[in-house]
């Protein structure tokens, strides 16, 4: 039979019997029509094996093909082979992976899918779940976080009681207008800051009160924090962070240091972008709330202008953190609050 | 003192292949290539400083008459692995992580097949379904744990402590799972778990971690005031500088000394204490340099007003110097361990990976991976595999027929345990 019409091809191979590590040199033939394999042993004997007893899983064209026999023996061919010698990958996904033309499509997907998942799917899922979490659970979470931050970064307030009372009254009026009965104001000392905790607590530091100087500005900042309370941003933020970090861990679950580094950088950049969108929403909420309570939304912009001075003190340009900062550029926030004030007729 | 393998060597007559990070390193001692004379290699070796823990032991410097050096190659192709990696990674993202076990099996199988020793590749056989079940079980546990911690912060420290109690058992069975999934010449690797031998070190780490956690959440501070915080801080440093290196050294020792290939037992000719001590015995200049550069760059970055640029500078400094330091330490430890490792009486290793080069490589891989948003990871993996095989010599004394198989149990056992152990993030490294 001529080579062109023959369905049988032969190849040198090594046979590993699984009993010890030595290999036996054999000659193996494959009959593509019959779908069977014949192993010619070194002692002159041969055995025929049906294709159903042979399996192979190669993800590489450059590696020597291997045939695993159902009795535990293993045959490694002398050359990487294709066509009839290659046992078809039983899984459709496996065959898709081996298609060369899918490589660039996959590469683009690898770049875009994480961004899509972390910026669209994940916040969407969290938005769906967060409103269904009981308030009592959220309040407990808030206490846990507060215990942690008071231990690590905050000290008791030294603000006079009358000042506290005055600010609390203004805060309560805002909370009432916003219909947020769980909102409460807490005073501490620490770095100039204000933040909302899960469950409705809003923390403001003596240092921030001192920096802003005027109650109007502080009220504007508190309105912004009430925006976070209304949107349950603290809860959503914690849930988003937990899920995102686990997703990234799963996606990059290799023991290589490099993958962990990429994981770290990607999660920081993407969480900064998520945080900026949340801050913009809280700014918008504060503008609306201030306007509703007949107070100028422009105060929020004025308060932000004070932060620019604070930034200068620490040699930081607060308008520059487009990609990595947790907050949008301050100039953009000031412009937005002015626009909001004009919209509600406070700038005429 | 480490016991020599074939001839009992002393520290003085071992060959150092690396000493000072600020000078060009002396040539790496190795078996002479066919085109080289052994005398030249010996001459190079004599230039190396004495009394160096990084040295290749005297008895491994050259193959003795009965031994032959086996060809070790990595034949993987960057473009081919890139295709496999991106396709599997895209599937991981599309399935929100559910495809990860299959991806792990395909990638590891690819890499294993392309590590070719004496002309024959390794085999990786793991059941992705078992790994997936393990992952899902771990996530269920994590959700319960997080919910309990939110419900009562007082539970955090006890839960941390309790989670460390079974860690020894988890890790040993995780090792078993990982070893069992590899085969060479159709003979599976195996592992004999001995949880008791690593029980107390892992508990020590658990107690320290629990205390540090309590300090963060106020439990200790409330009772002990600023002294409580101070003790917590000291314990954190103790954990990072002593407990963690000691426990990982212990685990590395356990991982190798209890491994099997067929019926042949791995033998590691040094103690845990020796592995731990070697981490501090030299390389201080390197670590000091890393710490100094890190501090200097951080201070320098504070002069940058632009937040994005400052973050980029700080992240780059952190990335480069951390990965360099970790890669440097791991490589030294791995060289030390491999150079004292034997399989049965027949197989010995000589590892000549230069730690400083490993540090540079890690920095390069990290930077490339970050700036290509991860797409350089396949290149980094293949490049590192090639470098590793170029710097590892495997010597065989005898014939392959002298390695019988030993009936192992199913390779999928322990997948859940493996998933649990992974959550502790303890990477022993190779």
* CATH assignment of the domain containing A15: 2.30.29
Q: Confirm whether A185 is domain-assigned.
A: yes
Q: Confirm whether A23 is domain-assigned.
A: yes
Higher pLDDT, B333 or B140: B333
What CA–CA distance (Å, rounded) separates B304 from A324? 14
C-beta atoms of B369 and A254 within 8 A = no
Look at residue B115 in the predicted model and tell me its pLDDT.
Answer: 92
Q: Confirm whether A119 is domain-assigned.
A: no
Q: Confirm whether A71 is domain-assigned.
A: yes
Look at residue A177 in the predicted model and tell me its pLDDT.
Answer: 93
Q: Which residues of B touch A64 (CB under 8 A)?
A: 121
Q: Are B85 and B42 in contact (CB under 8 A)?
A: no
Domain end (from A57, A90, A123): A90
Of the candidates A63, A246, A257, which has its C-beta nearest B326's C-beta?
A257
A250 touches chain B (CB under 8 A): yes
Residues A337 and A284 placed together within one structural domain of the fold: yes
Task: Give the model confidence (pLDDT) of B377-390 as tens digits.
Answer: 899 999 999 999 99
In sequence order, the β-bridge partners of residue B67 are B397
Higher pLDDT, A82 or B104: B104
The nearest CA of chain B is from the CA of A199 a distance in Å of 12
Task: Give the model confidence (pLDDT) of B168-198 as tens digits.
Answer: 888 888 888 888 889 999 999 988 888 888 8
What CA–CA distance (Å, rounded) separates B159 from B156? 5
A324 touches chain B (CB under 8 A): yes
CA B410, B166, B104: angle at the middle one, nearest 5? 45
Residues A77 and A155 placed together within one structural domain of the fold: no
Residues A222 and A336 placed together within one structural domain of the fold: yes
Q: Which two tokens stand for residue A105?
A: 């499509």
Whether the per-residue pLDDT at B12 is higher than 50: the answer is no
Residues A185 and A305 placed together within one structural domain of the fold: yes
The closest of A103, A59, A122, A273 to B375, measured between CA atoms, is A103
Residues A138 and A83 placed together within one structural domain of the fold: no
Residue B374 region, left (φ>0) first, then alpha (ψ -120 to 50), else beta? left
What CA–CA distance (Å, rounded) separates A282 from A274? 13
Which of A272-286, B40-54, B157-171 reaches the highest mean pLDDT?
Answer: A272-286
- Among B11-15, B113-117, B409-413, B421-425, whose mean pLDDT is lowest? B11-15
Reduced 3-state DSSP string for B184-221: ECCEEEEECCCHHHHHHHHHHHHHHHHHHHHHHCCHHH
- Among A48-57, A225-234, B90-99, B391-400, whose mean pLDDT is lowest? A48-57
Please give the tally of structural domains in chain A.
Answer: 2
What CA–CA distance (Å, rounded) separates B256 from B258? 6
Domain end (from A35, A60, A90): A90
| Calculated CA dihedral for residues A287, A289, A295, A298, nearest 10 degrees | -10
Q: Which residues of A touch B186 (CB under 8 A)?
A: 16-18, 21, 72-74
CB within 8 Å of B373: residues ≥ 6 apart: A110, A111, A262, A266
Look at residue B229 in the predicted model and tell me its pLDDT.
Answer: 63
Q: For chain A, list residues with pLDDT below 70.
A: 1-9, 51-59, 61, 80-88, 152, 246-267, 270, 315, 318-324, 347-348
| Residue A212 exposed, middle or buried by CB count within 10 Å (0-12, 13-18, 19+) | buried
CB within 8 Å of A270: residues ≥ 6 apart: A114, A115, A118, A119, A244
A82 touches chain B (CB under 8 A): no
What CA–CA distance (Å, rounded) separates B95 from B257? 39
Whether the per-residue pLDDT at B153 is higher than 70: the answer is no
Higher pLDDT, A193 or B41: A193
Look at residue A174 in the predicted model and tell me its pLDDT.
Answer: 93
Look at residue B387 in the predicted model and tell me its pLDDT.
Answer: 93
Look at residue B22 in the predicted model and tell me its pLDDT.
Answer: 38
Range of the domain at A148: 134-343
CB within 8 Å of A4: residues ≥ 6 apart: none
For residue A143, the number of C-alpha atoms closer than 13 Å in the C-beta half-sphere is: 12
**DSSP string of B17-50?**
S---TTSPPPPPP-PPPTTS-HHHHHHHHHTS-S
Look at residue B375 in the predicted model and tell me its pLDDT.
Answer: 87
What CA–CA distance (Å, rounded) separates A11 from A30? 9
What CA–CA distance (Å, rounded) separates A246 from B52? 43
Q: Are A248 and A259 in contact (CB under 8 A)?
A: no
Residues A61 and A144 placed together within one structural domain of the fold: no
Residues A290 and A162 placed together within one structural domain of the fold: yes
- Among B28-37, B92-101, B249-258, B366-375, whose mean pLDDT is lowest? B28-37
Q: Which residues of B touch A321 (CB under 8 A)?
A: 306-308, 311
Q: Confirm whether A112 is domain-assigned.
A: no
- Among A106-120, B13-27, B53-67, whose mean pLDDT is lowest? B13-27
Higher pLDDT, A189 or B414: A189
What CA–CA distance (Å, rounded) separates A233 from B423? 27
Look at residue B340 in the predicted model and tell me its pLDDT.
Answer: 92
Q: Are B125 and B411 in contact (CB under 8 A)?
A: yes
What CA–CA distance (Å, rounded) separates B250 from B204? 13
Residues A292 and A178 placed together within one structural domain of the fold: yes
The closest of B302, B257, B293 to B275, measured between CA atoms, is B257
Whether the per-residue pLDDT at B105 is higher than 80: the answer is yes
**Pairing of β A24-31 and β A66-69:** unpaired
Name residues 227-256 of chain B within 8 A of A (Cβ).
none
Domain end (from A30, A64, A90): A90
Residues A188 and A294 placed together within one structural domain of the fold: yes
What average pLDDT is seen over chain B? 76
Strands, DSSP E only, in B199-328? 259-261, 264-268
Whether the per-residue pLDDT at B423 is higher than 60: the answer is no
In sequence order, the β-bridge partners of residue A187 are A204
The closest of A306, A346, A308 to A213, measured between CA atoms, is A306
In this structure, the number of other CB atoms found within 10 A of the CB of residue B215 comes to 23
What CA–CA distance (Å, rounded) separates A77 from A12? 6
Of the candidates B80, B303, B311, which has its C-beta nearest A62's C-beta?
B80
- Which value does ipTM take for this structure? 0.75
- % of chain B exceeding 70 in pLDDT: 74
C-beta atoms of B381 and A256 within 8 A = yes
Whether the per-residue pLDDT at B428 is higher than 50: the answer is no
Q: Which two tokens stand for residue A30?
A: 């494959």
Residues A224 and A285 placed together within one structural domain of the fold: yes
Look at residue A1 in the predicted model and tell me its pLDDT.
Answer: 37
Q: Are A20 and B403 in contact (CB under 8 A)?
A: yes
Residues A37 and A141 placed together within one structural domain of the fold: no
**Pairing of β A194-196 and β B341-343:** unpaired
A337 touches chain B (CB under 8 A): no
Q: Confirm whether A113 is domain-assigned.
A: no
Task: Give the model confidence (pLDDT) of B231-286 as tens digits.
Answer: 666 766 676 677 778 888 888 898 899 999 988 999 999 998 888 888 887 777 77
Which of A169-178, B268-277, B322-331, B360-369 reaches the highest mean pLDDT?
Answer: A169-178
Look at residue A264 in the predicted model and tell me its pLDDT.
Answer: 67
Q: Confirm whether A122 is domain-assigned.
A: no
Q: CA-nearest residue of chain A to B428?
A: A255
Name residues 13-72 of chain B within 8 A of A (Cβ).
none
- How is residue A20 annotated by DSSP? B
Residues A85 and A150 placed together within one structural domain of the fold: no
In sequence order, the β-bridge partners of residue A46 are A40
What residue spans of A178-318 are helical by DSSP H? 206-212, 215-231, 233-251, 257-292, 298-313
- How is residue A50 annotated by DSSP? E
Q: Confirm whether A331 is domain-assigned.
A: yes
B326 touches chain A (CB under 8 A): yes
């Amino acid at each position: 039979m001529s080579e062109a019409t023959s369905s049988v091809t032969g190849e040198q191979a090594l046979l590993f019997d699984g009993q010890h590590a030595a290999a036996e040199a054999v000659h193996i033939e494959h009959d593509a029509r019959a779908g069977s394999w014949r192993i010619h042993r070194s002692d002159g004997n041969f055995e025929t094996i049906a294709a159903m007893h042979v399996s192979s899983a190669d993800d590489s064209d450059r590696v020597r093909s291997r045939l695993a026999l159902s009795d535990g023996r293993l045959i490694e061919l002398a050359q990487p082979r294709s066509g009839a010698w290659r046992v078809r990958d039983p899984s459709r996904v496996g065959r898709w992976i081996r298609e060369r033309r899918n490589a660039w499509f996959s590469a683009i997907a690898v770049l875009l899918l994480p961004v899509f998942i972390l910026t669209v799917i994940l916040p969407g899922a969290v938005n769906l779940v967060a409103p269904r979490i009981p308030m009592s659970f959220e309040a407990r979470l808030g206490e846990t976080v507060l215990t942690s931050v008071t231990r690590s970064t905050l000290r008791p307030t030294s603000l006079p009681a009358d000042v506290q009372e005055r600010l609390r009254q203004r805060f309560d009026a805002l909370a009432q207008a916003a219909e947020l009965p769980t909102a409460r104001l807490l005073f501490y000392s620490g770095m100039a800051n204000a933040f909302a905790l899960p469950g409705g607590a809003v923390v403001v530091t003596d240092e921030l009160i001192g920096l802003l100087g005027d109650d109007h500005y502080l009220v504007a900042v508190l309105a912004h924090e009430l925006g976070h309370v209304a949107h349950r941003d603290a809860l959503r933020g914690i849930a988003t962070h937990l899920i995102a970090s686990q997703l990234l861990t799963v996606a990059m679950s290799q023991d290589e240091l490099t993958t962990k580094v990429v994981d770290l950088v990607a999660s920081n950049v993407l969480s900064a972008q998520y945080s900026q969108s949340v801050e913009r929403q809280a700014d918008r909420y504060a503008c609306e709330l201030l306007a509703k309570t007949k107070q100028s939304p422009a105060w929020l912009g004025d308060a932000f202008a004070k932060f620019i001075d604070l930034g200068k003190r620490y040699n930081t340009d607060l308008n520059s953190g487009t990609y990595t900062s947790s907050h949008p550029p301050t100039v953009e926030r000031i412009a937005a609050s002015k626009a909001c004030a004009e919209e509600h007729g406070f700038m005429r | 003192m480490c016991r020599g393998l074939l001839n009992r060597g002393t520290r003085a007559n071992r060959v150092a292949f690396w000493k000072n990070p600020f000078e060009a390193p002396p040539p790496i001692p190795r078996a002479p290539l066919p085109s080289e004379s052994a005398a030249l290699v010996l001459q190079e070796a004599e230039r190396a400083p004495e009394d160096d823990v990084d040295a290749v032991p005297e008895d491994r410097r050259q193959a003795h008459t009965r031994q032959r050096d086996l060809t070790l190659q990595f034949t993987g192709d960057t473009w081919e692995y890139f295709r496999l990696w991106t396709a599997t990674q895209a599937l991981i993202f599309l399935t929100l992580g559910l495809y990860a076990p299959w991806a792990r099996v395909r990638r590891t199988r690819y890499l294993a097949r392309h590590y070719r020793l004496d002309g024959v590749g390794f085999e990786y056989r793991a059941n992705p379904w078992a790994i997936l079940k393990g992952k899902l079980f771990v996530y269920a546990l994590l959700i319960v744990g997080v919910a309990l911690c939110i419900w009562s912060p007082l539970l955090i420290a006890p839960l941390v402590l309790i989670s460390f109690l079974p860690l020894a058992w988890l890790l040993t069975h995780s090792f078993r799972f990982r070893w069992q999934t590899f085969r060479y010449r159709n003979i599976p690797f195996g592992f004999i778990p001995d949880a008791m031998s690593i029980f107390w070190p892992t508990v020590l780490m658990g107690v320290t971690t629990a205390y540090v956690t309590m300090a963060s959440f106020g439990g200790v501070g409330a009772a002990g005031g600023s002294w409580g915080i101070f003790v917590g801080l000291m314990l954190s440093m103790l954990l990072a500088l002593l407990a963690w290196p000691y426990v990982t050294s212990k685990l590395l020792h356990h991982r190798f000394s209890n491994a099997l290939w067929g019926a042949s037992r791995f033998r590691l000719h040094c103690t845990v204490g020796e592995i731990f001590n070697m981490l501090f015995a030299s390389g201080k200049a390197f670590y000091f340099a890393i710490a100094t550069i890190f501090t200097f760059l951080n201070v320098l970055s504070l002069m940058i007003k632009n937040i994005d640029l400052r973050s980029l500078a700080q992240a780059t400094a952190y990335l480069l110097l951390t990965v360099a330091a970790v890669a440097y330490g791991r490589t030294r430890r791995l060289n030390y361990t491999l150079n004292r490792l034997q399989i049965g009486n027949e197989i010995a290793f000589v590892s000549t990976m230069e730690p400083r080069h490993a540090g540079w490589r890690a920095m390069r891989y990290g930077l490339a991976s970050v700036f290509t948003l991860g797409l350089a990871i396949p290149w980094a993996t293949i490049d590192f595999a090639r470098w590793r095989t170029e710097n590892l010599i495997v010597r065989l004394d005898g014939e392959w027929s002298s390695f019988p198989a030993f009936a192992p149990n199913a390779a999928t056992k322990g997948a859940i345990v493996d998933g649990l152990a992974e959550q502790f993030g303890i990477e022993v490294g190779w």
